[in-house]
A and B are shown apart, each in its own frame.
Chain A
Amino acid sequence: MRIIACIKAAPDDADIVVGADRALDLSRAAWKVGSYDLNAIEAARRLADQAGGEVVGLTLGGEELANSKLRKDALSRGLDALVIVPGSADADSFQTASALASAIGGLGGYDLVVLGAGSSDRYAQQVGNQLGALLGVPTLNGVNSIAVESDHVRVERLLEDAEQVIDVALPAVVSVTSGINVPRIAGMRDILAAGKKPVTEASAPMPAASTRLVSLLAPEQVDRRRTVVEGDPAETAAQLATFLKSL
């Protein structure tokens, strides 16, 4: 099986500084692979190991992707190769999906494309849905388990009030849940091996954006009292009880 795992790097939200004017300062933020995209890599790796085959990582982004630590981090989690599509992390779902679809067209065939539940910056949960439509193949979101069965996969899909079992003909595009697996933590050997895996570039055209950004601002902060007590549990619990009763 040839599986493509789509991953996106975004600024680590712990490093984003909010200014007094509520503007975001991303300049000191390290970029990292979205935590839900690690579930996509893991799902792809496990399937490739079961059915035999390879996992190609595909990512669209800007200059941040030149960072070799970031590339190695992605490769060390179970990818066999990484394909980078020059673009921007700010691209919308359709721009991203269009460029990814055209890049996939140049990769020489695939059986399954796996995406994460959502990117950590936009979290639109839409790139996979749109990608599948553009590639013209069966597409699902909310996929919570995947089993290979001869010429198709059988998946379980989580909805708000039900669970579906669906047979999906290949090739297909699936977006997985954050609960589908526990992503592996790369060991020293994986990180060393990652440095030797192939990284290639594939440029792809991008359509116009569907919206124009007017502003990006942190929400107004609520002022909190921030009383913190520490020490003997019996005492702190009594203080908390007094506080709760005062409400």
Chain B
Amino acid sequence: MSDVWILAHDPAAGNTLARSARALGDRVIAVSIGAGVLAAADLTLVIETAAQALPEAYAQPVAELLRSRGAKLVLADAGTQSRLLAGQVAAHLGVSPVTAAGITPGEPLVVTRLAFGGLAVATEELTADVAVLVLSPGALPASDAAGAGASETVEAVPAGGLTLVETRAKGGETVDLAAAKRVVGVGRGFAAEGDLELARTLAATLGAELACSRPLAEGVDWMPAERYLGVSGATIKPDLYLAIGISGQVQHLVGVNHSKVIVAINSDAKAPIFAHADFGVVGDLYQVLPELAKNL
């Protein structure tokens, strides 16, 4: 019987991960750091976290637990907190965490990840005696098999030095760009936040979701982070992707190049996006978008 271990600090994400983990083992064992018992796992080792302590502060005891129980395959999701936890646990186990965008089960396990901003795909064999994988969204199919739901409590003491003072929920909508049939993407070609209204109007006319390049979400904060596309953001597969004022760097393109049709509007005829577009308009978005609105 093969065991696959997961690291969970959040009940919803933990159950999702437990369901995916089934693709790689017969028994799913969760280490839950403040996430309670996971119904989708067969066994949960529950660590109660102290108030003001971050789940990441339990990395060392979690690593000791994994080692003492002989864990060989450990999975985490790619969220910010999970990544830190996985990286630290792996360090205490003496291995590198391995980013996995795709996994081929077997002996040894073979994983793929993006390299050079999405310019290449690296295929790697796992050679260390324990594997800590950080799964990109969609790396494994989710099964709907229920878990046995057993649990054990484990005592653990967090490392000091990190005190959570405050958590502010980021409110706002959640969006499933991956499911959108049409997507309009905006980039730094927009000079001011208010000008995005031009793109919003177009998106509404086309029945499209609005998305963006990374600098518009991280840096100027004009758009929420879950709306940026690319190697480190969302990946989309719509029927239509319309990129406006986006240069088309490889880190962006890798998130959109599975679109059926790509359309680009950019004032620079030499912008790389045109080489990856089915239909391109060389022009100033401030002139082209109002004219386009008249014609749709």
Residues of A within 8 A of B (CB): 10-11, 13, 16, 18, 24, 92-95, 97, 118, 120-126, 128-130, 132-134, 137-142, 154, 157-169, 172, 177-179, 182, 207-219, 222, 224-231, 233-234, 236-245, 247
Contact = CB atoms under 8 A, between A and B. Distances in A.
Contact of B291 (A124, A158, A238): A238
Contact of A93 (B59, B96, B116): B96
A233 B97 CA distance: 50
Contact of B276 (A11, A224, A231, A247): A224
A237 B219 contact: no
B124 A211 contact: yes
B43 interface: no
A120 B114 CA distance: 11
A129 B87 contact: yes
B279 A240 contact: yes
A178 B291 contact: no
B231 interface: yes
A87 to B, nearest CB: 14
Given A122-B115, A126-B87, A179-B219, A226 B165 contact: no
B91 A164 contact: no
B contacts with A: majority SS: mixed
Interface string B108-149: 001100111111111111111001001000000000000000
8 contacts: A130-B90, A159-B79, A166-B164, A211-B125, A228-B277, A237-B295, A240-B288, A242-B295
B88 A13 contact: no
A40 to B, nearest CB: 15
A223 to B, nearest CB: 10
Contacts of A165: 164-168
A39 to B, nearest CB: 10
A36 to B, nearest CB: 10
Contacts of B86: 129
Contact of B277 (A132, A172, A207, A226): A226
Contact of B282 (A128, A140, A160, A228): A228
